[in-house]
Structure formats: structure tokens, C-alpha cells
């Protein structure tokens, strides 16, 4: 019965949309018509008397329709999640496309003309940036950079291989069927190849996030889909300009090659620039915290627009911007602002993605389809074939250079997970008109639908079949963190002894540079950086602390000194200055639907009983250099603030802890107790702490949805 829930929603939503579409005179073309509809009511008769009730739709038409579409998309999404067993089988993107098809069909049936299509401008300027920004902001930095070489390898070479392969083979097919396909030239085929070969980040994300594969695989596919934008867009524009030229020389091809590099690097630098500017601006937002998130969004969007203006790769720019500014912004802005940023990003990217898929469905209902069996089928086949061979070949080469080989199963998933999406769709609409353009559009739609539906739906069972390595979920404990850190240092040291530079060298060098210069400039005085050991530590501490109302229990065994939360906070603050930030294992957060996996209340642990011997609070004040307005706010803000750097914190829970409760507790202890003796070990802790340690090992602090 749960499956019937979405039907009323969808039906009402689509009827509503159709009604809205029918009220004014039908208009085809882009949805975003702007505000050029007349504001004057077109009624012919002048009112002779005042009307009590009137309807002026034209006044609000454009925003009204936009809102209706977004509403439809969101309701569909809601319905999807309420519909019982469906999410387990069908990925969200498929359902949304189906809804789009339904709505498009209804509109077509009612109006007998094509429904509004997704305009390329609207897509590239409004719908794509939030998604890419969200992806870039939550990108697991370390993993990404560790695998950057491989990702670039797949993105650049793989895409080139696909484009040339598909283009040339399609031309061969066209030559074989000259009757129907004879007027498609080689350049057209290459152009088509360039837009159809691109793996789409939106589609990939939406499908992969519902499968929990191991992080390395995820980052490979996802990183590739992000970075191949540079290659795709350049080649697309290149072929398009070739089409306009009378003849193509070798020099033009060479120039084209240079352009790829320029486009990629240009995007990178634009992104870097804006990222640093954002970081610097965020340093000064302490007095106007409410608008701090706005800067993040504005500057990121600006980087995208600037990059597009200069014909660089906007996606690369916005991803770079997000990656650059993230650590500084998180350090600088307040807790609430951080949460706002993350939630808004998630929300916008969710809405964007939903809209894109709905429009894909709606735009499929067109008058302008042209079908050609050989062309369409061969395109489908060639896409699969070339991608598979490309992945196999490239992996064979890159495995010799990698430490962690990409296994055969991983390769299969990479090849099979190469979904096409809305980018292809928009690009195909942008082609200059020529006789067979409609064929291209039809083929693109078919390929997109095929990849999203067939590949999207079957990839999960196939993954389970092949038993791809799943991500590990456990949060590392402090000792694990320490050990990891030690290993990193060790490896770095051995590297120095042996005398070879490698990634550790560059990472260390960057960290030093970061520490000495960037952090000083970009982070405000009283904000401090975090380190992963500390994050783990504070997260564990916080969990134990939540249950801390019961009176202490006496335990006969000798135990260690108390672990007081405020101490921990200040520890972390100091320590974070020193520890290098190697470990980002717990960062992936690609979920579209939730920000983090909030720890539910039933996980509330038994209290950690503390023996209160607290050093003078002034010690911490001096150490942390924090300008405190009042103690309560300091401790609340401090405690909460630190946790923000960690993407896996449960934001909502923290808001429920009022600051006031912390203050009296602290003040009690300050007054009652003397400075701690460091070697004081009280018995009752050990047992409680043991319980604590056993507990946290079973935490699942990652944000993954439970399978």
C-alpha cells in the first residue's frame, strides 16, 4: 500500500503543471522566458466597474511556472522516497525521468504541441553549477589527490579514446548506409562523438551514491566524470568551429590540442583565485556571520561564470574553488554558517538534479524526433564497446604505475558506470542546425535513457554480484589515527633516507606551505585548524559526554586521569596546529538526501563517569587565545565549532544542546576543584572508559545510508 502514496502526489502535481501551462497562450521553447510577457492584462473590454475578484496571470507567469516545475520535481522526489520498495530497485534518476515523461506526455496530450524543453543556457548557467559545487565541496581531498594521476589518465586519455573511437566508427557506419545516413560528414560524426562520449557527473553521482562501493572506485569514476568536462567541451567547441571553417589544417588540430590544456589549466587557476578570495573574505565575516554562507555561494558561482566567460572549463573552476576554500572557510565561519552552507549546497544540488532529470523526461516528448535504426543501435553499441576497451587498455597501463591496482571488477564498474546525462543533452541542442540534427537529438536521448535506465538499474545487482569491495565504515579510533599518522611520518622519513621524492614529499611540502603562509593569512586569529586525530577524539568524547548525568560509580581498578570535555576541546585546538592533516578517511558525503548520518538517540551511551578535577579554566583561555564574550558561549561555540570541520558530525543534534547547560556545570567544577594533578588516576574511570572504548569501535559515524 505504501507504493500507492506517490500516485496522488504525482497526478496532482502534473495536473497542476498542465493547468498552469494552459492558462496563458502556449509558448514553445525555453522555459525561462524572462519577464518580457506583457504586464498589461490583454482583456479587450475595459472594466466599466470595479471588479471584486480578478485574475492576472501574466504578471506572475514566469516565476509561477518556474516554481511549479520545481514543486513538481520536489514532490516527485518525496513520492519516490515514500514509495516502499521502489528506491531499492530503481534509482531515483530513473523515476524522475519517468515522471518527466509522464508530465511531458500529459502536456503534449492536452496542448498538442511540444512541451517546454530544457534550454541549454538554463542548464549550463543555473542547473549545473550547484551540483558541481556540491560535489566539489564534499570531495574527499586526500583520496582525490592520491588518485589524481589515474583520474586524469582516465579523464583525458579515456575521453579522447572514446571520442575518436565513436566518431570514427560512426562515420564508418554512415558510410555503410549511404542511403539514409549519407549526408553526415566526418566532422559531424566527430562532433557527435565528442558530446556522447562524456560521462556525466550528475548521472554518475545519482546512481553511485546509492551503491556503496569502495572509496577509491567511487573517486575514480566520479573524478573522471568531473574532469572530462574540460576535454569534452573543448573538443566539442573545436569540432563545431571546424564545421564552420571551410577547411581544416593540421595547424588547427594542433591549436585544438593546446586549447585542451589551456582550458583545463585556465579553469584551475580561476578556481584557485576565487577559492583564495573566498577564504580571505570569510576571515572577516565574524561580525556578520549570517551572510557568510552567501560569500561561499557567490564566489563559487562567480568562478564558474568567469570561467565560462573566458571559455575555460567552468566545472574544473568551480570544483577547484570549492576544494581550495573549504578548509579555510570551515575554520573561519561559525558553526551555524557551516551547517547552513552544507545544507544549502545539498538542497540546491538536490533540486537541480531533480529538475534536470524531470526535464530530460519532459524533453523526450518532442515533435522533432527522427529515427534511424542503424544509427541509434550502432551508437549504443559503440558507446559500450569503446568505453569498455578504453577502460581495459588504460587500466592495463596505469596498473603498472599504481600501488593499489584497479582490479578487474573495478574496471567493469568503471566501464559500466559510464552514464551519460544532461550535459550531452544540452550540448546536442546547441549544434548548429543541419539536416540530420534531429537524428542526433533522438540518438542522444536514446543513449541517455538507455544508460540511465538499463545501466543505472542493473549496476547495483551487478555490483553485488561481483562483490565489489565495499567501503569500510568504522570510524578510526584515536590509537588508529595515531598509528596512521605515525606510518605516514615513517614512510615520509624512509623516503627521505632513500632519497626519492614522491607524493608524501609534495604533500608534506604543501602542508608546510599551508601552515606557514596560507593559514596565517586566510584564517582569523582566534580560529584554529583541526586535525583528524582531534576530530575523532572530540567526536568520541562528545558521545560519551552526552549521557553524563548519572553520578559517578566507584570502580576499584586503577585508572587514568579524567577526560573532561573542555580539556579535550582545548587540547584539540592546540594539537590541531601541530598535527598534519593526513587522514581524511571519513569525509565522503555524497548523499543527496542527508547531510550526515545523524547519530540517533538510541545510540546514546552510558555516561562516562568523570572525576572532576579540572585545571583552572584560565589555562585554557590563554592557550586557546579565544576572545570570549562569555564563558558559556565560548565553551558551547568552541565545542561545537570544532566539530564542524568534520563532515561526519551530527549537526542537528548539537543545536538541541542549549549552551546554558554547559555553563553551570563548568562553573561548578571550577569553583569546587583545584588544578588537576597530572598523575592522578581515579579508579572509577577505567571501567567507564573501557566501556567507552568498546562502544566507539562500533560507531558508524559515516554518513552512508544504512543498506
Partner 1 sequence: MGSSSSRLSNIPNGQELMQETGFSDAHLLRLYERFQFLDKDNKGHLRSEDFEAVRELSKNPIGDRIVEAFFLPGQETVDFPSFVRVLAHFRPKEKNRTREGAQQEPEPANSRNQKLKFAFRLYDRDRDGKISRVELLQVLREMLGMQVTEEQLQSIAERAIQEADLDKDDTISFDEFRKISFHADPHRNRTGEARACLLEGKQT
Residue 29 interacts with partner 1 (CB under 8 A)?
no
CB-wise, 467 or 602, nearer to partner 1? 467
| 4, burial (CB in 10 Å: exposed 0-12, middle 13-18, buried 19+) | exposed
406 versus 422: smaller Cβ distance to partner 1: 406
The Cα-based distances of 451 to 91, 173, 415, 468 in angstroms read 12, 21, 12, 20
Q: Which stretch binds partner 1 (CB under 8 A): 98-106, 126-134, 560-568, 594-602?
A: 560-568
Closest approach of partner 1 to the CB of residue 433, in Å? 46
Q: Is 594 near partner 1 (CB under 8 A)?
A: no
Please identify, among the stretches 156-164, 385-393, 480-488, 657-665, the one whose residues bind partner 1 according to the rule CB under 8 A.
480-488
Q: How many CB atoms lie within 10 A of CB 241?
A: 12
Least Cβ distance, residue 683 to partner 1 (angstroms): 13
Q: Which is nearer to partner 1, 240 or 511 (CB)?
A: 511
Stretch touching partner 1 by CB under 8 A, among 20-28, 72-80, 368-376, 690-698: 690-698
Binding partner 1 by CB under 8 A: which of 489, 515, 617, 637? 489
Q: Which of 27, 311, 561, 637 is the binder for partner 1 (CB under 8 A)?
A: 561
Q: All 3 cell numbers of residue 462?
A: 551487478
Q: Is 522 exposed, middle or buried (0-12, 13-18, 19+ CB in 10 A)?
A: buried
Quick one: cell of 199? Answer: 560521462
Running DSSP on this structure, what letter comes out for residue 46? P
Give min distance, CB of 402 to partner 1, in A: 6
Task: Identify the residue among 493, 547, 658, 660 touching partner 1 (CB under 8 A).
Answer: 493
Among residues 8, 502, 627, 660, the one that binds partner 1 under rule CB under 8 A: 502
Q: Does 579 bind partner 1 (CB under 8 A)?
A: yes
Binding mask 525-554 for partner 1 (x = CB under 8 A): --------x---x--x--------------
Binding-site member from 570, 581, 624, 684 for partner 1 (CB under 8 A): 570
Burial 71-103 (b: 16+ CB within 10 A, else e): ebbbbbbebbeebeebbeebbbbbbbbbbbbbb
- Binding partner 1 by CB under 8 A: which of 24, 187, 693, 704? 693
Cα–Cα distance between 285 and 289 in angstroms, integer?
Answer: 6
Q: How far apart are CA 59 and CA 40, in angstroms?
A: 8
Cβ atoms of 241 and 461 within 8 Å: the answer is no
Q: CA angle at residue 383 from 380 to 388, to 5 degrees?
A: 130
- From residue 23, alpha-carbon distances to 27, 41, 61, 96 in Å are 11, 13, 9, 25
Q: Does 25 bind partner 1 (CB under 8 A)?
A: no
Cα 702 to Cα 597: distance, rounded to the nearest angstrom: 6
Q: Which stretch binds partner 1 (CB under 8 A): 166-174, 292-300, 330-338, 691-699?
A: 691-699
Interaction between residue 223 and partner 1 (CB under 8 A): no
Residue placing its CB nearer to partner 1 in the complex, 106 or 534: 534
Segment 77 to 116, residues that bind partner 1, using CB under 8 A: none
Q: Find out whether 119 and 30 touch, Cβ atoms under 8 Å.
A: yes
Interface with partner 1: number of residues (CB under 8 A): 70
Among 250, 499, 551, 556, binds partner 1 (CB under 8 A): 499
For cell 590544456, name the residue: 261
Q: Choose, by CB under 8 A, the member of 370, 462, 574, 665 that binds partner 1.
A: 574
Other beta carbons less than 10 A from residue 314's beta carbon: 29
For partner 1, the binding residue among 490, 550, 554, 616 (CB under 8 A) is: 490
Distance (Å, whole) CA 73 – CA 55: 26
**For 90, how many CA atoms within 13 A lie in the half-sphere containing its CB?**
16
For residue 189, give the DSSP letter. H
Region 157-216 residues binding partner 1, contact defined as CB under 8 A: 216
The residue behind cell 604543501 is: 510
Nearest 5°: phi and psi at 704? -65, 145
Query: DSSP 3-state assignment of 610?
Result: coil
Dihedral-angle region of residue 84 (phi above 0 means left; psi in -120 to 50 means alpha; beta otherwise): left
Q: Pattern 123-162, binding to partner 1, x per CB under 8 A? A: -----------------------xx-x-------------
Nearer residue to partner 1 within complex by CB, 345 or 608: 608
Q: State which of residues 183, 464, 496, 672 lies at the interface with partner 1 (CB under 8 A).
A: 496
Please report how close the Cβ of residue 485 comes to partner 1 at its closest, in angstroms: 6
> Shortest gap between Cβ of 472 and partner 1 (angstroms)?
7
- Cβ closest to partner 1, residue 527 vs residue 696: 696
Residue span binding partner 1 (CB under 8 A) among the ranges 28-36, 75-83, 332-340, 470-478: 470-478
- Which residues have C-beta within 8 Å of that of residue 171, sequence separation ≥ 6? 184, 186, 189, 190
Distance CA 652, CA 666 (A): 23
Binds partner 1 by CB under 8 A, chosen from 623, 627, 652, 664: 623
Residue list 660-689, contact with partner 1 (CB under 8 A) = 676, 678, 686, 689
Closer to partner 1 by Cβ: residue 398 or 466: 398
- Can you say whether the dihedral through the CA atoms of 351, 357, 358, 363 is positive or negative? positive
Check binding of 476 to partner 1 (CB under 8 A): yes
Can residue 403 be called a binding residue for partner 1 (CB under 8 A)? yes
The DSSP result for 454-518, as a single string, is: IIHHHHHHHHHHHTPPBPP-PPP-HHHHHHHHHHHHHHHHHHHHHT---HHHHHHHHHHHIIIII
Q: Judged by CB under 8 A, does residue 467 bind partner 1?
A: no
- Our CB check for partner 1 shows the closer of 210 and 541 to be 541
Task: Please select the residue that binds partner 1; options are 404, 458, 652, 661, rule is CB under 8 A.
Answer: 404
Distance of CA 363 to the CA centre of its chain: 25
> Alpha-carbon distance 157 to 264, whole Å?
14
Pick from 474, 663, 665, 700 the residue near partner 1 by CB under 8 A. Answer: 474
Pick the closer one to partner 1 by CB: 401 or 604: 401
- Binding site residues, partner 1, CB under 8 A: 146-147, 149, 216, 400-404, 472, 474, 476-487, 489-505, 508, 533, 537, 540, 557, 560-561, 563, 567-568, 570-571, 574-575, 577-579, 585, 615, 619, 623, 676, 678, 686, 689-690, 692-693, 696-697
Amino acid at each position: 500500500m505504501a507504493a500507492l502514496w506517490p500516485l496522488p502526489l504525482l497526478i496532482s502535481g502534473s495536473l497542476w503543471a498542465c493547468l498552469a501551462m494552459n492558462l496563458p497562450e502556449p509558448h514553445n521553447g525555453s522555459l525561462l522566458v524572462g519577464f518580457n510577457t506583457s504586464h498589461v492584462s490583454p482583456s479587450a473590454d475595459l472594466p466599466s466597474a470595479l471588479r471584486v475578484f480578478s485574475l492576472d496571470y501574466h504578471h506572475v507567469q514566469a516565476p509561477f511556472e518556474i516554481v511549479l516545475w520545481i514543486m513538481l520535481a520536489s514532490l516527485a522526489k518525496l513520492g519516490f522516497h515514500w514509495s516502499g520498495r521502489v528506491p531499492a530497485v530503481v534509482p531515483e534518476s530513473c523515476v524522475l525521468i519517468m515522471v518527466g515523461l509522464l508530465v511531458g506526455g500529459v502536456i503534449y496530450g492536452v496542448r498538442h504541441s511540444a512541451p517546454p524543453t530544457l534550454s541549454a543556457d538554463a542548464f549550463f548557467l543555473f542547473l549545473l553549477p550547484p551540483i558541481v559545487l556540491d560535489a566539489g565541496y564534499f570531495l574527499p581531498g586526500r583520496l582525490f589527490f592520491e588518485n589524481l594521476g589515474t583520474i586524469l589518465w582516465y579523464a583525458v586519455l579515456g575521453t579522447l579514446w572514446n571520442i575518436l573511437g565513436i566518431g570514427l566508427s560512426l562515420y564508418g557506419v554512415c558510410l555503410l548506409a549511404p542511403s539514409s545516413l549519407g549526408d553526415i560528414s566526418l566532422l559531424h560524426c566527430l562532433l557527435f562523438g565528442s558530446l556522447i562520449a562524456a560521462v556525466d557527473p550528475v548521472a554518475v553521482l545519482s546512481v553511485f551514491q546509492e551503491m556503496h562501493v569502495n572509496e577509491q572506485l567511487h573517486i575514480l569514476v566520479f573524478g573522471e566524470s568531473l574532469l572530462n568536462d574540460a576535454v569534452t567541451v573543448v573538443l566539442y567547441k573545436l569540432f563545431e568551429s571546424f564545421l564552420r571553417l571551410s577547411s581544416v589544417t593540421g595547424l588547427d588540430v594542433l591549436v585544438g590540442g593546446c586549447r585542451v590544456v589551456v582550458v583545463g589549466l585556465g579553469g584551475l587557476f580561476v578556481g584557485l583565485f576565487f577559492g583564495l578570495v573566498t577564504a580571505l573574505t570569510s576571515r572577516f565575516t565574524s561580525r556578520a556571520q549570517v551572510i557568510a554562507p552567501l560569500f561561499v555561494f557567490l564566489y563559487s558561482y562567480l568562478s564558474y561564470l568567469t570561467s565560462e566567460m573566458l571559455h575555460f572549463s567552468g566545472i574544473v573552476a568551480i570544483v577547484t574553488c570549492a576544494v581550495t576554500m573549504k578548509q579555510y572557510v570551515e575554520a573561519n565561519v561559525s558553526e551555524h554558517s557551516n551547517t547552513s552552507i552544507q545544507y544549502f549546497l545539498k538542497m540546491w544540488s538536490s533540486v537541480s538534479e531533480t529538475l534536470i532529470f524531470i526535464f530530460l523526461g519532459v524533453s523526450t516528448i518532442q515533435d522533432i524526433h527522427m529515427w534511424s535504426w542503424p544509427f541509434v543501435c550502432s551508437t549504443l553499441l559503440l558507446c559500450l564497446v569503446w568505453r569498455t576497451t578504453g577502460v581495459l587498455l588504460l587500466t592495463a597501463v596505469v596498473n603498472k604505475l599504481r600501488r593499489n591496482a584497479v582490479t578487474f571488477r573495478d574496471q567493469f564498474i568503471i566501464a559500466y558506470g559510464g552514464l551519460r546525462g544532461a550535459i550531452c543533452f544540452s550540448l546536442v541542442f546547441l549544434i548548429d542546425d543541419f539536416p540530420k540534427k534531429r537524428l542526433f537529438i533522438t540518438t542522444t536521448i536514446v543513449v541517455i535513457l538507455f544508460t540511465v535506465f538499463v545501466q543505472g538499474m542493473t549496476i547495483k545487482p551487478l555490483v553485488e554480484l561481483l562483490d565489489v569491495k565495499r567501503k569500510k565504515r568504522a570510524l578510526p579510533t584515536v590509537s588508529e589515527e595515531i598509528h596512521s599518522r605515525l606510518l605516514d611520518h615513517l614512510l615520509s622519513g624512509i623516503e627521505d633516507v632513500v632519497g626519492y621524492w614522491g607524493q608524501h614529499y609534495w604533500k608534506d611540502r604543501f602542508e608546510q606551505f599551508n601552515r606557514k603562509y596560507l593559514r596565517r593569512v586566510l584564517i582569523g586569529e582566534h580560529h584554529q585548524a583541526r586535525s583528524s586525530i582531534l576530530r575523532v577524539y572530540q567526536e568520541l568524547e562528545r558521545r560519551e559526554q552526552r549521557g553524563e548525568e548519572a553520578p559517578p560509580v566507584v570502580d576499584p581498578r586503577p585508572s587514568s586521569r579524567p577526560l573532561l570535555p573542555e580539556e579535550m576541546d582545548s587540547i584539540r585546538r592546540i594539537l590541531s596546529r601541530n598535527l598534519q592533516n593526513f587522514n581524511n578517511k571519513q569525509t565522503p558525503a555524497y548523499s543527496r538526501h542527508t547531510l550526515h548520518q545523524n547519530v540517533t538517540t538510541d545510540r546514546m551511551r552510558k555516561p562516562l563517569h568523570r572525576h572532576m578535577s579540572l585545571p583552572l579554566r584560565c589555562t585554557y583561555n590563554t592557550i586557546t587565545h579565544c576572545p570570549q564574550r562569555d564563558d558559556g558561549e565560548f565553551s558551547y561555540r568552541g565545542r561545537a565549532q570544532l566539530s564542524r570541520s568534520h563532515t561526519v558530525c551530527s549537526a542537528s543534534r548539537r543545536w538541541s544542546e542549549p549552551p546554558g547547560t554547559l555553563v553551570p556545570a563548568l562553573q561548578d567544577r571550577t569553583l569546587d576543584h583545584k588544578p588537576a594533578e597530572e598523575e592522578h588516576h581515579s579508579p572509577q574511570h577505567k571501567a567507564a572508559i573501557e566501556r567507552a572504548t568498546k562502544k566507539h569501535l562500533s560507531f558508524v559515524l559515516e554518513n552512508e545510508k544504512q543498506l
